Structure 1
Amino acid sequence: MYDKELFDLVSQLYAPNIALYKKRCEEKDLLNISDVCSPILDIYTVELEDVKYSFDVNFLRDEALRLESTDLKLAPNLIALAYQSRPNGPVIKEKHNEYKNLLDKYNEEDV
Protein backbone atom coordinates (compact mmCIF):
# COMPACT_ATOMS: atom_id res chain seq x y z
CA MET A 1 0.00 0.00 0.00
CA TYR A 2 1.17 3.56 -0.63
CA ASP A 3 1.86 6.27 1.95
CA LYS A 4 -1.14 8.66 1.94
CA GLU A 5 0.80 11.71 3.13
CA LEU A 6 3.45 11.21 0.46
CA PHE A 7 0.77 10.58 -2.13
CA ASP A 8 -1.02 13.82 -1.19
CA LEU A 9 2.21 15.81 -1.53
CA VAL A 10 2.98 14.27 -4.89
CA SER A 11 -0.58 14.84 -6.09
CA GLN A 12 -0.22 18.56 -5.43
CA LEU A 13 3.04 18.79 -7.35
CA TYR A 14 2.57 16.32 -10.17
CA ALA A 15 -1.10 15.91 -10.93
CA PRO A 16 -0.61 14.47 -14.45
CA ASN A 17 1.34 11.50 -13.12
CA ILE A 18 -0.77 10.67 -10.09
CA ALA A 19 -2.67 7.74 -11.57
CA LEU A 20 0.60 6.14 -12.65
CA TYR A 21 2.18 6.84 -9.25
CA LYS A 22 -0.76 5.32 -7.37
CA LYS A 23 -0.83 2.27 -9.63
CA ARG A 24 2.89 1.62 -9.30
CA CYS A 25 2.81 2.16 -5.55
CA GLU A 26 0.01 -0.35 -5.21
CA GLU A 27 1.77 -2.86 -7.50
CA LYS A 28 5.26 -2.61 -6.03
CA ASP A 29 4.66 -1.17 -2.59
CA LEU A 30 6.22 2.30 -2.27
CA LEU A 31 8.62 3.51 -4.96
CA ASN A 32 11.00 6.41 -5.05
CA ILE A 33 9.06 9.43 -6.30
CA SER A 34 11.67 10.13 -8.98
CA ASP A 35 10.95 6.74 -10.53
CA VAL A 36 7.41 7.70 -11.45
CA CYS A 37 7.19 11.50 -11.53
CA SER A 38 8.62 13.79 -14.14
CA PRO A 39 9.80 17.00 -12.52
CA ILE A 40 8.35 20.19 -13.89
CA LEU A 41 11.68 21.68 -14.93
CA ASP A 42 12.59 23.04 -18.33
CA ILE A 43 16.15 21.91 -18.97
CA TYR A 44 16.74 24.91 -21.24
CA THR A 45 15.73 27.57 -18.70
CA VAL A 46 16.20 25.93 -15.28
CA GLU A 47 18.05 27.94 -12.66
CA LEU A 48 19.32 26.99 -9.22
CA GLU A 49 16.30 28.43 -7.40
CA ASP A 50 14.06 26.10 -9.45
CA VAL A 51 15.78 23.03 -7.97
CA LYS A 52 13.84 22.37 -4.78
CA TYR A 53 13.61 18.63 -4.30
CA SER A 54 15.86 15.61 -4.47
CA PHE A 55 13.97 14.34 -7.50
CA ASP A 56 14.71 17.66 -9.28
CA VAL A 57 18.42 16.98 -8.76
CA ASN A 58 17.95 13.40 -9.99
CA PHE A 59 16.16 14.73 -13.06
CA LEU A 60 19.00 17.17 -13.86
CA ARG A 61 21.61 14.45 -13.39
CA ASP A 62 19.71 11.99 -15.57
CA GLU A 63 19.08 14.55 -18.31
CA ALA A 64 22.76 15.52 -18.33
CA LEU A 65 23.76 11.88 -18.73
CA ARG A 66 21.20 11.44 -21.50
CA LEU A 67 22.40 14.55 -23.34
CA GLU A 68 26.15 14.20 -22.95
CA SER A 69 26.54 12.44 -26.29
CA THR A 70 24.42 14.98 -28.18
CA ASP A 71 24.63 18.34 -26.41
CA LEU A 72 27.97 19.10 -24.77
CA LYS A 73 26.88 22.63 -23.92
CA LEU A 74 23.72 21.73 -22.04
CA ALA A 75 24.90 18.56 -20.23
CA PRO A 76 27.65 20.31 -18.22
CA ASN A 77 25.25 23.12 -17.30
CA LEU A 78 22.72 20.64 -15.94
CA ILE A 79 25.40 18.78 -14.00
CA ALA A 80 26.65 22.10 -12.59
CA LEU A 81 23.18 22.84 -11.25
CA ALA A 82 22.87 19.34 -9.83
CA TYR A 83 26.35 19.68 -8.28
CA GLN A 84 25.40 22.93 -6.56
CA SER A 85 22.41 21.17 -5.03
CA ARG A 86 24.10 17.85 -4.21
CA PRO A 87 27.91 18.21 -4.34
CA ASN A 88 28.56 14.86 -2.67
CA GLY A 89 26.38 12.77 -4.97
CA PRO A 90 28.83 10.23 -6.43
CA VAL A 91 27.63 10.35 -10.04
CA ILE A 92 27.11 14.10 -9.99
CA LYS A 93 30.53 14.71 -8.45
CA GLU A 94 32.21 12.37 -10.95
CA LYS A 95 30.52 13.97 -13.97
CA HIS A 96 31.12 17.49 -12.66
CA ASN A 97 34.85 16.75 -12.35
CA GLU A 98 34.91 15.04 -15.74
CA TYR A 99 33.29 18.01 -17.48
CA LYS A 100 35.52 20.45 -15.61
CA ASN A 101 38.66 18.55 -16.67
CA LEU A 102 37.49 18.44 -20.30
CA LEU A 103 36.79 22.16 -20.26
CA ASP A 104 40.16 22.92 -18.65
CA LYS A 105 41.91 20.78 -21.27
CA TYR A 106 39.99 22.47 -24.07
CA ASN A 107 40.89 25.93 -22.71
CA GLU A 108 44.58 24.97 -22.44
CA GLU A 109 44.60 23.92 -26.09
CA ASP A 110 43.18 27.29 -27.15
CA VAL A 111 46.02 29.21 -25.47
Structure 2
Amino acid sequence: MSTTPSPKPAIVEEAYTILMQLGGNKFLVMTGANKLMAAGRTEHNPNPWLRMDLRKNKAKVNRLKITLMPTDTYTVEFYQQVLVDWEPVISNQQTFELVYGEDLQTLFTSVTGYDTHL
Protein backbone atom coordinates (compact mmCIF):
# COMPACT_ATOMS: atom_id res chain seq x y z
CA MET A 1 0.00 0.00 0.00
CA SER A 2 1.54 3.31 -1.05
CA THR A 3 0.65 6.61 0.44
CA THR A 4 0.57 9.62 -1.78
CA PRO A 5 1.38 12.91 -0.11
CA SER A 6 -1.56 15.25 -0.14
CA PRO A 7 -1.09 18.41 -2.19
CA LYS A 8 -0.14 21.57 -0.33
CA PRO A 9 -3.10 23.79 0.37
CA ALA A 10 -3.29 26.90 -1.80
CA ILE A 11 -2.70 29.08 1.25
CA VAL A 12 0.77 27.60 1.67
CA GLU A 13 1.69 27.91 -2.01
CA GLU A 14 0.56 31.52 -2.36
CA ALA A 15 2.21 32.66 0.87
CA TYR A 16 5.36 30.73 -0.04
CA THR A 17 5.49 32.45 -3.43
CA ILE A 18 5.23 35.89 -1.81
CA LEU A 19 7.96 35.00 0.69
CA MET A 20 10.23 33.68 -2.09
CA GLN A 21 9.81 36.92 -4.03
CA LEU A 22 11.00 38.77 -0.93
CA GLY A 23 14.05 36.50 -0.68
CA GLY A 24 12.86 33.50 1.32
CA ASN A 25 14.79 32.44 4.41
CA LYS A 26 17.58 34.90 3.64
CA PHE A 27 15.01 37.69 3.83
CA LEU A 28 13.79 36.45 7.23
CA VAL A 29 17.33 36.21 8.61
CA MET A 30 18.50 39.57 7.25
CA THR A 31 15.43 41.54 8.33
CA GLY A 32 14.40 39.79 11.54
CA ALA A 33 10.83 39.46 10.26
CA ASN A 34 8.81 36.89 12.23
CA LYS A 35 5.33 35.73 13.19
CA LEU A 36 4.25 35.10 9.61
CA MET A 37 0.53 34.73 8.99
CA ALA A 38 -1.20 34.05 5.71
CA ALA A 39 -4.65 33.79 4.16
CA GLY A 40 -5.30 31.91 0.95
CA ARG A 41 -7.81 32.48 -1.79
CA THR A 42 -11.36 31.53 -0.78
CA GLU A 43 -14.83 32.56 -1.88
CA HIS A 44 -14.88 35.12 0.94
CA ASN A 45 -11.27 36.27 0.43
CA PRO A 46 -10.40 36.58 -3.28
CA ASN A 47 -6.98 38.12 -2.60
CA PRO A 48 -4.43 35.95 -0.74
CA TRP A 49 -2.03 37.76 1.59
CA LEU A 50 1.05 37.31 3.77
CA ARG A 51 1.59 39.31 6.96
CA MET A 52 4.61 39.51 9.25
CA ASP A 53 5.94 41.39 12.23
CA LEU A 54 9.00 43.59 11.73
CA ARG A 55 11.71 44.71 14.12
CA LYS A 56 12.39 48.39 14.77
CA ASN A 57 13.18 50.30 11.59
CA LYS A 58 13.49 53.81 10.18
CA ALA A 59 9.81 53.98 9.16
CA LYS A 60 8.65 53.15 12.72
CA VAL A 61 6.38 50.36 11.51
CA ASN A 62 6.01 46.91 13.03
CA ARG A 63 3.84 45.13 10.48
CA LEU A 64 4.02 44.32 6.79
CA LYS A 65 1.10 42.94 4.81
CA ILE A 66 1.47 41.94 1.16
CA THR A 67 -1.71 41.16 -0.77
CA LEU A 68 -1.80 39.50 -4.21
CA MET A 69 -4.26 41.37 -6.42
CA PRO A 70 -6.16 40.01 -9.47
CA THR A 71 -3.81 42.02 -11.74
CA ASP A 72 -0.84 39.82 -10.59
CA THR A 73 0.60 42.81 -8.74
CA TYR A 74 0.80 43.37 -5.00
CA THR A 75 -0.59 45.88 -2.57
CA VAL A 76 2.04 46.38 0.13
CA GLU A 77 1.08 47.89 3.48
CA PHE A 78 3.54 48.95 6.17
CA TYR A 79 2.01 50.07 9.47
CA GLN A 80 2.43 50.37 13.22
CA GLN A 81 -0.12 48.35 15.19
CA VAL A 82 -0.46 48.48 18.96
CA LEU A 83 -3.19 47.34 21.33
CA VAL A 84 -4.96 49.97 23.39
CA ASP A 85 -7.53 48.52 25.80
CA TRP A 86 -7.37 45.28 23.79
CA GLU A 87 -8.30 47.11 20.57
CA PRO A 88 -5.82 47.39 17.68
CA VAL A 89 -4.75 50.93 16.83
CA ILE A 90 -3.00 51.49 13.49
CA SER A 91 -0.69 54.39 12.72
CA ASN A 92 2.21 55.31 10.39
CA GLN A 93 0.43 53.48 7.57
CA GLN A 94 2.08 53.50 4.16
CA THR A 95 0.35 51.71 1.28
CA PHE A 96 1.87 50.97 -2.12
CA GLU A 97 -0.30 49.59 -4.93
CA LEU A 98 0.54 47.93 -8.24
CA VAL A 99 3.91 46.65 -6.98
CA TYR A 100 5.49 43.94 -9.14
CA GLY A 101 7.10 40.89 -7.54
CA GLU A 102 10.59 41.90 -8.67
CA ASP A 103 10.17 45.26 -6.90
CA LEU A 104 9.23 43.89 -3.45
CA GLN A 105 12.79 43.74 -2.11
CA THR A 106 13.67 47.25 -3.28
CA LEU A 107 10.46 48.67 -1.79
CA PHE A 108 11.08 46.91 1.53
CA THR A 109 14.62 48.31 1.74
CA SER A 110 13.54 51.85 0.83
CA VAL A 111 10.82 51.91 3.52
CA THR A 112 12.53 50.07 6.40
CA GLY A 113 16.21 50.67 5.66
CA TYR A 114 16.96 46.94 5.99
CA ASP A 115 18.77 45.02 3.27
CA THR A 116 16.99 41.84 2.19
CA HIS A 117 20.15 40.00 1.12
CA LEU A 118 23.93 40.16 1.50
TM-score (ref. length: structure 2): 0.23
Q: Higher helix fraction: Structure 1 or Structure 2?
A: 1
Structure exhibiting the larger radius of gyration computed from Cα positions: 1
Q: Higher strand fraction: Structure 1 or Structure 2?
A: 2
TM-score (ref. length: structure 1): 0.24
